[in-house]
Amino acid sequence: MRALIAAAIGLAAALALVFGITAMGAPPGETSKEPLHTTVPEHP
């Protein structure tokens, strides 16, 4: 019984961690102010 409880705690923690991280997601960021190039850039 204790082993089951320990396993359940481990499973719940893993689910909570992964769901939490994926729910947070990445910040969307901003649209770059850089232009769409109409000249040939000298460097990357």
- Contacts with another protein, residue ranges (CB under 8 A): 1-3, 6-11, 13-15, 17-18, 21-22, 25-26, 28-32, 34-41, 43-44
Side chain identity at 39, as an amino acid letter? T
Q: How far is the CB of 20 from another protein (least distance, A)?
A: 11
**Residue 34: which of 25, 21, 24, 44 has the closest Cα?**
44
DSSP letter, residue 38: S
Q: How far is the CB of 37 from another protein (least distance, A)?
A: 5
